[in-house]
Amino acid sequence: MDKLVVNGPNRLCGELTVSGSKNAALPIVFASLMAEGVHTINNVPRLADMDSAQRMLLCFGAEIDQNMKSQFGANWVVDTRNIKSGEAPYDLVRKMRASFFSLGPLLARRGEARVSLPGGCAIGARPVDLHLNAFEALGAKVEQEAGYVTVRAKDGKLPGGKYVFPFVSVGATENVMMAATLSKGECVLENAAREPEVFYLAEVLNSMGAKISGHGTSTITISGVDRLEPMNFTIPPDRIEAATYLIAAHMTGGSITLHNAPVVDLGAVLAALAESGAEYGIEENIIQLESSGDILPVSIKTEAYPGFPTDVQAQWCALMTQANGVSTVEETIFENRFMHVPELIRMGANIKIDGNKLTIKAKKSALTGAPVMATDLRASASLVLAALVAEGSSEVLRIYHLDRGYESMELKLRSLGARVERV
């Protein structure tokens, strides 16, 4: 089991290219199931989660060639002419719950799908009731038995209909939007997720011949079409990875230039960084950030897009341990997303948890190196950031969590001057 050994403190200075977005790529690679043919998907990040998605596609009968020309990213050629199974088995779905996004595409392609329920994960129970309610609202027949869910469309095509989400769900919006593209009628999704990943997925589907409008707003309308053509698409950059490295530069009082940065998707994060004393400039898709190392306390509350992203909450906590003053962090999306906090406290942070709210009392360089345990993807990123500024050596254990969502983090950090080794 790999671990990262990080020696701090030191300033990060340098340039990075942002990798393709994991959370955009996952539904997009599953969307290839909906059109018979050979698809080209470029700039897919090389991550454990993408490997899991590949295994899932192969299990349905797809054939995939992956060519990796440069040091980062990969170009996939996916042949979905022979999809012979519509069943996603438990042992694959439990490894990566986003496999549940195969449900909508399989339903659209084959008229039925049988997918294992994903079960919970470290950050929460993460039920899929909204996915299933939305499929039913569009006319599908949904049955659950023995830990699997079977979704069927009468005579192979969803009739269509309208679903009002009781609260925002990114995955449910994506899953049912994919199924709706090949429905017989019109589908309207209200209170749909507005995340950039939903917008990019709709753009890909429209490039394949779908008729989707309103994506990026709370009301998405999908007019069903008979068939879709294979995609030829380049995965956009990862806004959560970009936010993580911007925070790392600010936290260490350094400077960073991000190339291929998703500038338009980073509004709330850039505003919070500016409020906390970082200075940044934007030129097309390049962000340059400078930090004096004087970090001002900025309280945040996570919200659905365009609010402050829950996937940047743990990293923000690490930054606020270095701020001159008291800040609060409120998590409103997941019920158990503070697992980085006990580990930060072991490094010397002064953080109080009260339900879904934290109070962080900071004093400069209050952290000392320690062995810490990663528990989920973004918590592990938070611990690496803390280790960059802590006095002495830290060991971040179980970094397979990190490998799910960050492409070669130790290489990227070393290129910015960090003292970090994978052991």
* Least distance (Å) between residue 279 CB and ligand EPZ: 28
CB of 78 within 8 A of CB of 99?
A: no
Give yes or no for residue 196 binding ligand EPZ (CB under 6 A). no
* Least distance (Å) between residue 421 CB and ligand EPZ: 25
Given 64, 130, 272, 373, the residue binding ligand EPZ (CB under 6 A): 130
* Least distance (Å) between residue 195 CB and ligand EPZ: 6
Give yes or no for residue 28 binding ligand EPZ (CB under 6 A). no
Given 15, 68, 82, 124, the residue binding ligand EPZ (CB under 6 A): 124
Give yes or no for residue 311 binding ligand EPZ (CB under 6 A). yes
> How far, in Å, CA of 54 to CA of 92, rounded?
11
- Residue with Cβ nearer ligand EPZ (128 or 153): 128
CA-based nearest residue to 217, from 237, 244, 189: 189
* Least distance (Å) between residue 168 CB and ligand EPZ: 6
Residues with Cβ within 8 Å of 381's Cβ and at least 6 positions away in sequence, in order, are 244, 314, 315, 402, 405, 406, 409
Binding residues for ligand EPZ, rule CB under 6 A, total 22
- Residue with Cβ nearer ligand EPZ (257 or 302): 302
**φ and ψ at residue 178, rounded to 5 degrees:** -65, -45
Given 131, 157, 215, 239, the residue binding ligand EPZ (CB under 6 A): 131
Give yes or no for residue 378 binding ligand EPZ (CB under 6 A). yes
* Least distance (Å) between residue 41 CB and ligand EPZ: 16
121 labelled catalytic = yes
- 241-260: contacts with ligand EPZ (CB under 6 A): none
Binding span for ligand EPZ by CB under 6 A among 29-37, 76-84, 125-133, 145-153: 125-133
Given 334, 351, 407, 410, the residue binding ligand EPZ (CB under 6 A): 334
CB of 144 within 8 A of CB of 158?
A: no
Q: Which residues are registered as beta bridge partners of 329? A: 300, 358
Parallel, antiparallel, or unpaired: how do β-strands 63-67 and 279-283 relate? unpaired
> How far, in Å, CA of 201 to CA of 136, rounded?
22
- 62-121: contacts with ligand EPZ (CB under 6 A): 98
Given 107, 333, 385, 388, the residue binding ligand EPZ (CB under 6 A): 333
CB of 158 within 8 A of CB of 184?
A: yes
- Residue with Cβ nearer ligand EPZ (127 or 325): 127
Q: Give the alpha-carbon dihedral of 373, 379, 382, 383, to 10 degrees.
A: 0
CA-based nearest residue to 215, from 239, 238, 236, 195: 195
Residues with Cβ within 8 Å of 174's Cβ and at least 6 positions away in sequence, in order, are 27, 101, 104, 193, 197, 198, 201
Given 44, 117, 172, 317, the residue binding ligand EPZ (CB under 6 A): 172
Instruction: Report CA-CA distances (Å) from 8 to 87, 102, 386, 413.
Output: 48, 42, 9, 12
Give yes or no for residue 400 binding ligand EPZ (CB under 6 A). no
Give yes or no for residue 169 binding ligand EPZ (CB under 6 A). yes
> How far, in Å, CA of 48 to CA of 54, rounded?
10
Binding span for ligand EPZ by CB under 6 A among 56-64, 127-135, 140-148, 270-278: 127-135
Indicate which residues carry an active-site annotation.
121
Residues that bind ligand EPZ (CB under 6 A): 23, 26, 98, 124, 126-131, 169-172, 197, 310-311, 333-334, 377-378, 405
